[in-house]
Each structure stands twice: as structure tokens, then as C-alpha cells.
Structure 1
Amino acid sequence: MSLLPQILHSPSTTPIFISSLNPRTTTITPTTLTPPHHYIKKRPNLLRCAASSFPEKHHKSGPPPQSDDTIELPLFPLPLVLFPGTILPLQIFEFRYRMMMHTLLQTDLRFGIIYSDTTTGTADVGCVGEVVKHERLVDDRFFLICKGQERFRVTNIVRTKPYLVASVTWLEDKPADNGEEDLETLASDVETYMKDVIRLSNRLNGKGEKEAQDLRKNLFPTPFSFFVGSTFEGAPREQQALLELEDSAARLKREKETLRNTLNYLTAASAVKDVFPSS
């Protein structure tokens, strides 16, 4: 699969360049998140999982809300965003999360991954990661392959030790106001922009103008919108904003605008390269 440049949507329409369309393992810590306006270099092969502390804003007084849709979920704050349907490889080495894994392997193999960084703190909305493959090493570390499932919103912290457990409610997109046909049109537009961005990115990287084929892979508009958001790797705050939206049309429109801005940038960069081939 061709590479898709990393993209950051912002109100100023300034793109930055990000990820590959293929899932890969990465090593990320809050101090190594790439600053804007730089190409992301390929990173080492594995995300090492040590979590930040949960902010006090989530420690709400009183009992958690009573709802049939409220459940307790172990939480893992990380400097990345997991989307429904996407694959995330992890290495678990911190003691408290090794404890969590021992519990999960005896229960339903699901835990919450929630975005956290040193600047903005920990988000309220995350995504369930289900362990689909695991390997336990002799030193009790774990290698995991997780798949994104339902989104959730934190409503109350149940406990913080030995690891975070929260009451959460499920988050789903609202039905489209203007019908499924409009969503299909938006999804098709987004796919077209993605193909153009990949084509120009390949050209600028000396790979020729290779065409990307069938990026949607028969996905309906909502799961496709999550897939697109997952390719904006390296722009976690924008990814978090996309994850939190409860409207597929709004998510696709925002992604379309981001891709359009990036395409404009790449078109200008390509024109400069044509005039100044050695630059």
C-alpha cells in the first residue's frame, strides 16, 4: 500500500505530514511526539506502554450514574488515539499493566485506550481495545495485538490503583439527518482526496505517481471515517477531535477539508519541484 502523508487539520488550514496506510508498530512517548511542519520519520517497531497519571478532573464525587449502558472498564492512558476497527500492536512492561493483562486474559480481553499527553491531560473519550493476539515472555512482559472496538466516554473513576478502572458509557454516531446517500457522497469524496494525496506524495518521494486502489474496501461511511482518521497518525489531537464527534457526516467533512488542504500543499510543493528539480 502506498504511503499517505500525515495530515493535521487546523483552523488555519496548515497541513503537516503523517502516516502510512498500513498498520505498524511504533514507539511513542509524550516527549517524542513530532512537532508541526516536519515530516515524520519511520519509527522503531513497537509501542512501549507506560501510562501517564489520570487528571483530577475525572474524580467526580458521588456514585457513578446508574444506566444499563454504564460498565466498568480498565483504562490505559497513552499518547495516541485508537479508532474502531483499527489494529494496534503494544508491548506491556509496566508492572501495574502486567497485572491488568493477567486479569484480562481470564475475563473478556477488553480494556480502554484513552489519549493523554503532558499538555492537554487525559481525554474523556476513548476506544476499547480487544486483545486478538498475545505473547507472554519469560520476564512477564506481554506483546499484544489489539483491535479497536466501541468508543466510550468516562463518567466516573472507580479506582486508580493498581491500575485505572472507570465507569464508562458507550458513544455512538447519531443517525444522519440527510440520509445515507449524502454520507456515501461524502465518503466517496474523501476517498478521492486520499487517492490524490497518495499519488502526489508518491511523486514527491520519487516513487512515481502510483494510484491507490479501493481505499474503502467496501466499508460503510461510518467505519470508513474511522479508518481515515486512523491514517492521520502523528496528529493525535486532531485524531482525538475526530474520535469524539458523534456525527459521521461531520467527521467526513472535517477529514475532507484536511485532505483538501494537504492536497493543495502537495500540489504547490510539486510545482516547486518541477521548477527547481534539485530542491
Structure 2
Amino acid sequence: MAFPIPHLISSPASSFLPYNPLLNLTPLSLNPKIPFSTPTPPHINVLRHIRRRKATSHLRCSASSYPENNNANSPNQDDVTELPLFPLPLVLFPGAILPLQIFEFRYRVMMHTLLHTDLRFGVIYTDAVTGTAEVGCVGEVIKHERLVDDRFFLICKGQERFRVKKVVRTKPYLVASVAWLEDRPSPSADVDVDGLANEVETYMKDVIRLSNRLGGKAEKEVGDLRRNLFPTPFSFFVGSTFEGAPREQQALLELEDTAARLAREKETLKNTLNYLSAASAVKDVFPSSSSPSSPS
């Protein structure tokens, strides 16, 4: 499928600019000079995402309200329903917070409709190279502000994942028939999913620690990142921190096995840690060298 990308207010590229959830799209802050597919892993800006997570933690669900398996109110995997779609050059994960500013006419029309219905729409990744993905995530509007010129400031929260089955219409905005996705039990009974999640958390803490060091910040103990989350929602949280690598995020979103998702995230974080360790060693030998986040 090839859908047009809607016009968005651009986000500041610098990771040093203050984050304003009402004015900016979720920033993409990986180093654009180091493609994700290259042998050298990118510098994943986990630290910045963690700071934003704390800033918006009051909008997130608690672990008790986000069980490992869908509850009785969650849509059935066999259900097919119509959902308005919002193609974006980013990936939304269940549980993640997405700030948006909407000013294009067709999406303002969509917002007027949503504000009188259930405030839910599908966020689906698209780019000029790969086209539009078939798997996306529902974004539920949890806070909004309508301006006098009919623009909207939104804060959305990721909910269920879905797969597009059929495009129902394209005007005035996209509407598709979708089926719901949820993770299936791992095919291997020997996999310790909870232990794998703990390993991923350890790697994340090490990445944050080294990122702080390379950024010239004082090293300090990184707190609890899992916050009692079950492995599945934790794997979605980890994927949401891989900012600036949307194709990898899309691959993680499409996986229907929590253990496989965590294993892939562990490998990515391990490669990133190796990269940061090497960069840190270079910085110790050549203190005037540029950091990996801003190579010359």
C-alpha cells in the first residue's frame, strides 16, 4: 500500500532542545549519519526517552491495568472492524505516549469525527522507500486542545496492535478494515521470558550509564526501568526507546512472540553497548574527540 504522508509540524533534530509534548512530534534522535543497517550499531538515545517517560508517567497505565494477556474488554483477535488510519513516518507502540499537532484539512475532519465517537484511530508507519506498513497501533486521544484556527494539539496513547485487511476508503481520510493482533505463546517452552526481560533491562541501564558518561554527565545509579511491567508491555516500552530507527521499530511491532521481540531488543542493545564502549575508550585516549552522537 502506498498512502500519502500527512503534513506535520517538524520536530527539532537536536537532542538538547527542551521537549514540549504539545508542540513537537515525538523526536527521532538517533544519529542520522549512522544508518541502522550498517555494521556499526547506532547510538540509541534511550536516556532521553526515559526522561520523557518520567515526564508523562501520569498518563501511562500501571502494571496492574496492563496484564500479560488481554482482559475481557480487549478486542478479540478474530474481530474485524473499521478504523480511520493516520500514516506517519514513525512507529507507535502499545502503552507509548505520542504528541501530535494536526493542521491538514482531512485530518482535522477526522479529529472532528473522533471527538464525537471513541477517540481512537490507527497510527501506521510509512516512508518513501518501503511504503506503508500493514501492521500498526491504535492511538487513543487522552488529551486534546482545539485552537481558534481549527488546528489540534493531541496527546495519544498506544493501545492494541492491528493488521490492515482491506482499505475501505481513502477520502476524506483513510479508513481500513483491520484485525487485532496479540502476542502468541512462545513456541519454545524452555524460554524464560521474565529472565530475558531482566537481561534487556540490564543492557538498557548500561547503555544509559555510558550515554551519560559520553555526554559529560555525572554517572549515577539508573533506577528501575521495568516498574513491575510484565514482559510483553515491557518489550513494547523497550521498542519505543529505539528512536530514529523506525524500520527496526516496525519489525519489533510486527513480531507476535514476546520472547523473540525481547531477544531482538537484547541483541540491539548489546551491539549499541559495544559501540558506546568503544567510543568511550576512544574518548579516554583522545579527550578532544567528538562524541558518537555528533561525529564530524
Measured against the shorter chain, the TM-score band is: 0.7 to 0.9
- Alignment check: 8 A CA contact 2:183 2:258 kept: yes
1:12 offset after TM fit, Å? 5.5
- Alignment check: 8 A CA contact 1:151 1:172 kept: yes
> What is the 5 A alignment of 1:193-272?
193-272=203-282
Matched, 1:111 2:133: no
1:238 offset after TM fit, Å? 0.4
> What is the 5 A alignment of 1:157-196?
157-178=167-188, 182-196=192-206
Matched, 1:21 2:49: yes
- Alignment check: 8 A CA contact 1:24 1:89 kept: no
SS where residue 163 of structure 1 aligns? coil
1:6 offset after TM fit, Å? 4.2
Q: Residue 256 of structure 2 aligns to which amino acid in structure 1?
A: E
1:176 offset after TM fit, Å? 2.6
> Which of 145, 148, 153 pairs up with 1:135?
145
Q: 1:149 — aligned with what?
A: 159
Task: Provide the C-alpha distance between the structure 1 equivalents of 2:124 and 2:52, rounded to a whole number of angstroms.
Answer: 19
- Alignment check: 8 A CA contact 1:23 1:88 kept: no
SS where residue 21 of structure 1 aligns? helix
- Alignment check: 8 A CA contact 2:36 2:245 kept: no
- Alignment check: 8 A CA contact 1:76 1:164 kept: yes
Q: 2:88 — aligned with what?
A: 78
1:11 offset after TM fit, Å? 6.5
Task: Provide the C-alpha distance between the structure 2 equivalents of 1:203 and 1:274, rounded to a whole number of angstroms.
Answer: 11
CA RMSD of aligned residues (A): 2.2
Task: Provide the C-alpha distance between the structure 1 equivalents of 2:271 and 2:239, rounded to a whole number of angstroms.
Answer: 15
Matched length: 235
Deviates more, 1:69-78 or 1:203-212: 203-212
- Alignment check: 8 A CA contact 1:72 1:168 kept: yes
4+ residue runs over 3 A deviation: 5-13, 22-25, 177-181
State the TM-score, normalized to the length of structure 2.
Answer: 0.75
Q: Residue 260 of structure 1 aligns to which amino acid in structure 2?
A: K
Q: Residue 102 of structure 2 aligns to which amino acid in structure 1?
A: I
Q: 1:96 — aligned with what?
A: 106
1:212 offset after TM fit, Å? 1.5
Q: 2:134 — aligned with what?
A: 124
Q: Give unmatched runs, 5+ long, in structure 2.
A: 1-15, 17-28, 54-76, 290-296
Q: In structure 2, do the counterparts of structure 1 residues 23 and 206 end up closer, same or farther at CA, with 3 Å as the change threshold?
A: closer
Q: Residue 167 of structure 1 aligns to which amino acid in structure 2?
A: S
1:154 offset after TM fit, Å? 0.2
1:208 offset after TM fit, Å? 2.3
Task: Provide the C-alpha distance between the structure 1 equivalents of 2:141 and 2:284, rounded to a whole number of angstroms.
Answer: 47
State the TM-score, normalized to the length of structure 1.
Answer: 0.79
Q: Give unmatched runs, 5+ long, in structure 1.
A: 26-66
1:273 offset after TM fit, Å? 1.1
